Amino acid sequence: KASNKRCIILNFRGILLEPQQDIATPKQMIKTNMPKEIIQQPSSSSLPLSSLPPLSKLLTIIATTSPIRSNPSTALLEQTFDTFSFAGDEFAYECPKVIVCDGCRIIEDDDNNDDQPSKEEKKQEEDGTNNSNDNNTNAAAPPPKITRKYANVKQTLRNGIATTDQAKNYEEFKVRLKTLCEKANNPPSLENTSKNKKSPFQNTQVVELEERHGYGFALRHALHHNVTTPYVCVIQHDRTFMRPTPITEVVHAMMNDTQQQIKYVGINMRSNLMYHDIFSGKYGRRAVNEFRKMILYPRELCIGGNVYGANGSSVQNMVAPRDEKRRRNMEAYKESYRGSHQCITYEEWLKKKQKYSQSSSAEEQQQQKSKSQKDGYHQLSLTPTLFWYDNTHIVNTAHYHDFIFHPQYKMVARGGFVEDKLSPCMVRSCERLGLKEGHGKFGCYLLDDHSGVVFTGHLDGGSFMSAEAHYSKGDK
């Protein structure tokens, strides 16, 4: 007999983490060469700043590069590395650096294919095994042809496809890059040290990949084979620092995070400077209220010296815009920032903080106020984000190893960027587990000093031209 009752079947999908992967054990920390004083430190308390190891023992810089039109010139990487001094001398000259040169797929011209034999045919002729006329099933199959075409040279190179001439220029670029690093690592005699400036290419090794990996897997290769520090700073070859940036303080905040909330800190850029407003436009008021509670204000990012903030020296020492139009755009963007939720939320937090401090005596309040004005302290914030930006960022190495690049989860695709596939995974995690718990698995935050000015810029490597190219083109 048929029943009139209705039923609903719900299917739930989730990822079951193994117990070892939830919390890094001391053995896992030793694999990343973490200093002993950190391994022995109990997780319930944070380390004082004076007892922390130097930044060079904590952080490795990974720079990724691939074929671009400006090859064989190294001008793009040189301009990028020259801005490392904005992150501090220790970051620029003492931290170990790894430059990963991704491989590429070569597409040959049709004319060359008709007149010249392929590499496989040359090898067969040398070995005396060239039986091109025979239908031998055991013969080596020809390399796969690249049939997909792109609109322009920039897009083609972006997908790792280069012509024969472009591949030769890329090989020459890698030779010049290795020579540049060798000269920096082995400076001339110390007689003229006052004349010889430090090079940001010091302590740099160049890693060449034979095959095309893509940004994500090229980064994974460097993490698995060339990194021994507990934290990494990932920088693309055309991403520059625009003004002084508190990289050391960010690493200290991540180390002293006893709740293991901060796993990724992105250095803001123009597209995510007002991320609070981006989030507010996508989700409802209930989610926004919970989002505001997740904003962090670490004590390590309360920095003195009148460096950060709208009137800080960091903004004053920023790289000046090239023309008047860009300067006006930057000023207009600062005005827009002052009326954004990103700025208003921070001002509300400051008012609440001042309200709570009013419980102390008037004398103590006056002392705190005068000290704050004298030392110029400014509190920077970490805004949670549901997007993994491949722009300059600092990540816990174990988080990359054990979670992001875990083969079981498959959150990064070969040949693509990390942000392409990982960011949707983060959104689905929040939809399934809730905003706070779903975001906590990834622990992504964006750094902001509430000045309305970005920390990083973009040179656009696909369109970048060296000074030599401009001169040969007739530009002055």
Q: What is the pLDDT of residue 316?
A: 93
In this prediction, residue 150 carries a pLDDT of 61
* Dmax (CA) of the chain: 100
Q: Which amino acid is at 368?
A: Q
Note whether 245 and 91 are within 8 A (CB): no
Digit-coded pLDDT (tens) for 399-427: 999 999 999 999 999 988 999 999 999 99
Q: What is the pLDDT of residue 244?
A: 96
Give the Cβ contact number of residue 212 at 10 Å.
Answer: 20
Structure tokens at 228: 């021994």
Tokens representing 278 are 């981006």
Percent of the chain exceeding pLDDT 90 equals: 61
Identify the top-confidence range among 15-29, 298-312, 346-360. 298-312
For residue 39, what are the contacts with CB-CB under 8 A and spacing of at least 6? Answer: 26, 29, 30
> Does the pLDDT at position 135 exceed 80?
no
Each residue's pLDDT tens digit, 75-111: 999 999 999 999 999 999 999 999 999 999 888 654 3
Residue 307 scores a pLDDT above 70: yes
Where on the phi/psi map is residue 63: left (φ > 0), alpha (ψ -120 to 50), or beta? beta
Q: For the segment 182-204, what is each residue's pLDDT rounded down to a tens digit? A: 999 887 655 444 446 889 999 99
404, 223 Cβ separation under 8 angstroms: no
Checking if the pLDDT of 472 tops 80, the result is no
Taking all residues of the chain, what is their mean pLDDT, rounded to a whole number? 81
The per-residue pLDDT for 9 is 54
Strands 456-458 and 239-241: antiparallel
